Structure 1
């Protein structure tokens, strides 16, 4: 088995893990009443970009090997770095869902009895879900030996993040006011101690 194939298999296993982590929370969220939402065209575009970059483009590459012209040599060290990064992403992703519990939503929504979560990964950054997507994109870039498929995840993440995070923070400030402002003052957005 080639190094490139190992990277692709690890990527597929990571995406399967992503699905199995998210699915139960998605099902539970449907049972909690939404009291306010900020669904918009830009949010839809951001979510679509993340899906395309983190799943569709790399999935197409893994299934077909195209675009071949963008292939580059696979290295064992890159696959190890990619696997560790993707595993870290799944750990953060799981912890984020667990801490949010009934507050979780794929869209910008406030649910009945919504609370501000400041524990677990939320004690370090305000948006650890985005941190997990960033780590997924980095892991994907190391796991897939193709410039287009490998970097598509980082592009998808960037589109989602920059289209959505400001609106999300405005919504949280409206709902939680000074409590969220104080939380913003003591945490960074997605990279602990940096940004």
Structure 2
């Protein structure tokens, strides 16, 4: 088995694990009443870009090998590093969901009895779910030896993040006021101690 194939298999397993982690939270979230919704067309575009870059385009590449002209030689160190980064992404993703519990939502929503979560990964960054997507994109960049498929995840993440994060923080400020402002002052957005 080639190094490139190992990277592709690890990527596929990572995407399956991502869905396995998310599914039960998605089911539970449907049972909790939404009090406020800040969904916009730009949010839909961001979510679609992330889905396309982190799943659809690389999945198409893994299934078909297209575009083969953008392939480059796979390296064992790159696949090993990508595996570690993707595993870390899944860990952060799971912990973020677990800490949010009934507050979790795929879109910008405030749920009934919504509480500000400041524990677990939320003690270090305000948006660890985005941190997990950033790590997934980085892991994908090291796992897939194709310029188009490998970089699509980071591009998709960036589109989602920059279209959505300011709106999300405004929504949290409107709902939690000074409590959220204090939380913002002691945490970074997605990279602990940096940004």
Instruction: Please state how far the C-alpha of 1:147 moved relative to its aligned partner.
Output: 0.3
Compute the TM-score of the two structures, normalised by the length of structure 1: 1.00
Cα separation, 2, equivalents of 1:183 and 1:150:
34
Task: Show the counterpart of 1:152.
Answer: 152
Task: Show the counterpart of 1:48.
Answer: 48
Unpaired segments of 5 or more residues in structure 1?
Answer: none
Unpaired segments of 5 or more residues in structure 2?
Answer: none
Q: Does 1:81 find its partner at 2:81?
A: yes
Cα separation, 2, equivalents of 1:27 and 1:189:
27
Task: Show the counterpart of 2:114.
Answer: 114
Any idea what the Cα deviations from partners look like across 1:108-158, whole Å, max 9, x if unmatched? Answer: 000000000000000000000000000000000000000000000000000
Instruction: Tell me the secondary structure at the aligned position of residue 121 of structure 2.
Output: helix
Task: Show the counterpart of 2:6.
Answer: 6
Instruction: Tell me the secondary structure at the aligned position of residue 36 of structure 1.
Output: strand
Any idea what the Cα deviations from partners look like across 1:72-111, whole Å, max 9, x if unmatched? Answer: 0000000000000000000000000000000000000000
Task: Show the counterpart of 2:99.
Answer: 99
Matches within 5 A, 1:171-182: 171-182=171-182
Task: Show the counterpart of 1:70.
Answer: 70
Cα separation, 2, equivalents of 1:9 and 1:88:
17
**Deviating 4+ runs (over 4 angstroms):** none
Cα separation, 2, equivalents of 1:161 and 1:102:
22
Cα RMSD for the two superposed structures: 0.2
Task: Show the counterpart of 1:136.
Answer: 136
Cα separation, 2, equivalents of 1:37 and 1:122:
22
Aligned pairs, number? 195
Cα separation, 1, equivalents of 2:182 and 2:189:
13
Instruction: Tell me the secondary structure at the aligned position of residue 23 of structure 1.
Output: helix
Any idea what the Cα deviations from partners look like across 1:154-175, whole Å, max 9, x if unmatched? Answer: 0000000000000000000000
